Amino acid sequence: MQKIIFLFSFFLFFSAPAYSAVILKIKGRKALIDLEGVQAGKGDRFDALNLYGKALGLLEIKQVKKGKAVAVLLKGKMGINWILEPASQSTSSSFVSEEEYDPAGTKPKSASLKDTDSSFVKKSNFVSNGVGLIAGMHFNSLAVSTDKSISGSGLQGALFADFFIINPLAVRLILGYQQLIAAGSDCGLSSCQLLIHYPGAGVFLRGVFLTHLMFQPWVGGGGGLFWPLVHRTANLGLDKKSFSGFHGALTAALGVDIHFSGFYIPLQISVNWINPVVFSLQSLKPGSRQFKPFYIGINTGVAFSF
C-alpha cells in the first residue's frame, strides 16, 4: 500500500502546473514561445534548456502578444518543448551578438506574430485525439460476507479512444475485458477461489495538464458497465444467480501520456470499485452484496493521434 501511495503522490506532483516559458514551434531561427505566466519584454534574453536541463542556446525576444512571444536564436541551438530561463549576465556575454551568427553578415528580419502562418499557432502543442490499445494487470482484494477475505491479481486489456472536449478536458472511451481472480486459505480444509471474466465498457473524464509538453499528466474518474461471466466460486458460499445482469463500476485514475510524432504512450494507475448494484435489461435491482471487490490496475499501451 505504501508503494501505491508513493506512485499516486508522484503523479500528483507532476500534475501541478509549471510556470516556465516553452518553445512551441520553430521556423528557421525564429521560435514561437508560450510564456506560461513568465514576464518578458522585447529585448529580453533567455537560455534555451534541452529536455535534460542543459543550456544549449541563447534567444532574444522580439515581440510579445497575449501570452505568446516571438524570439530569434542568437547562438547555439533550440528545440520544440525546450524550457527557457532568463539568461544570466555571464551567460549572455559568452554568446555572440545577433549579427555574428550569420556568416554572410545579414541581420535577420524582425519577427512578428503577424508574419507567422496559422499552423504556427494552432498546431503549437500536443493536444490531439487518438485511438489505441491499453493493457496491464491489476491487484484485487475482496471481502466476502461470510467473513472470508481473498485476494489475487489478473490481466486486463482494452481498446480506447481519446477526445478533447475543450483543453484541458478530455474524454476516454474504453471497450475491453478484465479478469477477477482471487484466492484465500481461510476456508477450512479447502481453499477459497473466485474467477470472474468481466467484458464491458466505460468512460473517463480526464483533466490533462501541460498539453504543450511531451509529457502530459492527468487525473480523472468515471465508470462503466461489466457483464460478469462467473467460472468459479469455490467454497465461498456465493450465489451465482446474484451475478446476473450488468455490474456497475466506479473508477478513479491518474496517469501520464507521453507524446511523440503521430502517436503517444499512455501510462495509467486506477482504483476501481465494483458497485453492488446490478443493472439488468428489465430493471435496476440490488446485486450481490456477498462480496465487495476492490482492485488497483496498472496499464500501458500505445495510441495513434488524429
Looking at every residue in the chain, the average pLDDT score rounds to 75
Segment of 52-56, 166-170, 202-206 carrying the highest mean pLDDT: 202-206
| pLDDT-wise least confident of 99-113, 175-189, 245-259 | 99-113
- Structure confidence at residue 123 (pLDDT): 42
Per-residue b or e along 1-38, where b marks 16 or more CB atoms closer than 10 Å to that residue's CB:
eeeeeeebeebeeebeeeeebbbbbbeebbbbbbbbeb
Q: Could you please report the per-residue DSSP string of 36-97?
A: TT----TT-EEEEE-TTS-EEEEEEEEEEETTEEEEEEEEE---TT-EEEEPPHHHHHHSPP
Where residue 129 falls (left for φ over 0; alpha for ψ -120 to 50; beta otherwise) is beta
Residue 148 confidence class, pLDDT cut points 50, 70, 90? low
* Residue predicted with more confidence, 105 or 254: 254
What is the CA 36 to chain-centroid distance, rounded?
A: 20
Kindly report, residue by residue over 189-231, the tens digit of the pLDDT.
Answer: 567 777 888 899 999 899 999 887 888 999 999 998 888 887 6
Model pTM score: 0.59
| The pLDDT of residue 268 | 94
pLDDT tens profile 71-82? 999 988 898 888
CB-CB neighbours of 200 under 10 Å? 19
User: What are the chain's domains?
Assistant: 19-122 (2.40.30), 130-305 (2.40.160.20)
- For residues 32 and 23, the answer to whether their CB atoms sit within 8 Å is yes
Q: Is the pLDDT of residue 54 over 70?
A: yes
